[in-house]
Structure 1
């Protein structure tokens, strides 16, 4: 489903105020872990699926990548990417991930940050990524953790005084569409189990090399409101794999 909330003016303005939007990679709570999972970019051709503001494309180029292509369904995201992370070795394309051609063996590294929970089928994207990677190519991505997506509302349970009680987990094995509230807007996401993520890779020609449920960077715990509560349940899942 090709939903694009990010070109909505109100939603985009809210997103632009988030720490990861204002401060880039250092403002992302998972970056201190994700960067350790990334490969050596020297001389590599890189594809970033759902590139957003282009932070990961710029990081790849700064660390020696030959070329980086970032694709995103949001034109507003790409406008910011071209302003903030512009380089003659970075190309940005306005298109849905599902519509990209994934030409055989055209990239050495594929990365994606917090995008695949917007796509209905994870095995499909694994098959396409495998096709476009060279043998031994690297696939690194982050998604919202299945514990985070299962119930659907993506909000804590609170008591009558507004204090956080617990995080709801329900319908875990019932995969599919969830209507969540993100930045005050209704957003469609797709819940998938951990089994689906792992087997999607294994059954489509990948060997998993890393799987991490990251805790927030300690330096951000007191500088971003609510970040300490992220220690109470996993919000993200980070995975690295290699094409066999």
Structure 2
């Protein structure tokens, strides 16, 4: 097993949480990382790919690193969530919260304040993300747009606003 991250702090946290000596944790930049051919049955990423400028290169690299029948499972910030130049809740004429989706068809850099100021992310339309996977040779298994259930909202009422727009996109793809 291999765990990659650009942040040494995130790698240290992962080591603390797993304490599994079978996992080889390495510092790596996903923009330039190379992976061994047909070495993995599963590649999983949580909320990292929207920080990668050359996503097609990374997807091709992941595809060649998977054994036939291997899966890529990942989450990213939903394109609707990341599209706006100034992402924030606004109030419509009826006083309801609404999320701006301006600039959706203009792909590329977005800078936002998230845990730190001026964080660089890359917006891609949903179709672009899916077509990059298909062009690399993946077949899609599942695409989910996160929305909380009634039970989740009952347990954590602040999640109710997440029904107004999807915040996360979950994708599962297979290397045939």
Once superposed, which parts of structure 1, at least 4 consecutive aligned residues long, lie more than 4 Å away? Answer: 222-225
Asked if 1:91 is matched to 2:91, the reply is: no
* Counterpart among 135, 141, 154 of residue 209 in structure 1: 141
1:56-135 mapped onto 2 (5 Å cutoff): 68-135=1-68
| TM-score, scaled to structure 1 | 0.66
Cross-structure match for 2:106: 174
| TM-score, scaled to structure 2 | 0.90
Cross-structure match for 2:160: 228
2: distance between equivalents of 1:91 and 1:110? 14
* Counterpart among 108, 111, 126 of residue 194 in structure 1: 126
Change (3 A) 1:218 1:138: same
* Counterpart among 117, 138, 150 of residue 83 in structure 2: 150
**Contact 2:40–2:67 (8 Å) recurs in 1:** yes
1:30-69 mapped onto 2 (5 Å cutoff): 68-69=1-2
Shift in Å at residue 102 of structure 1?
A: 1.3
1: distance between equivalents of 2:43 and 2:23? 14
Root mean square deviation of aligned Cα = 1.8
Count of paired positions: 174
**Contact 1:156–1:164 (8 Å) recurs in 2:** no
Q: What are the ranges of 5 or more consecutive residues in structure 1 without an aligned counterpart?
A: 1-67
1: distance between equivalents of 2:16 and 2:72? 27
Higher relative contact order (CA 8 A, sep 6+): 2
2: distance between equivalents of 1:243 and 1:222? 38
Change (3 A) 1:87 1:235: same
Cross-structure match for 1:243: 175
1:132-143 mapped onto 2 (5 Å cutoff): 132-143=65-76
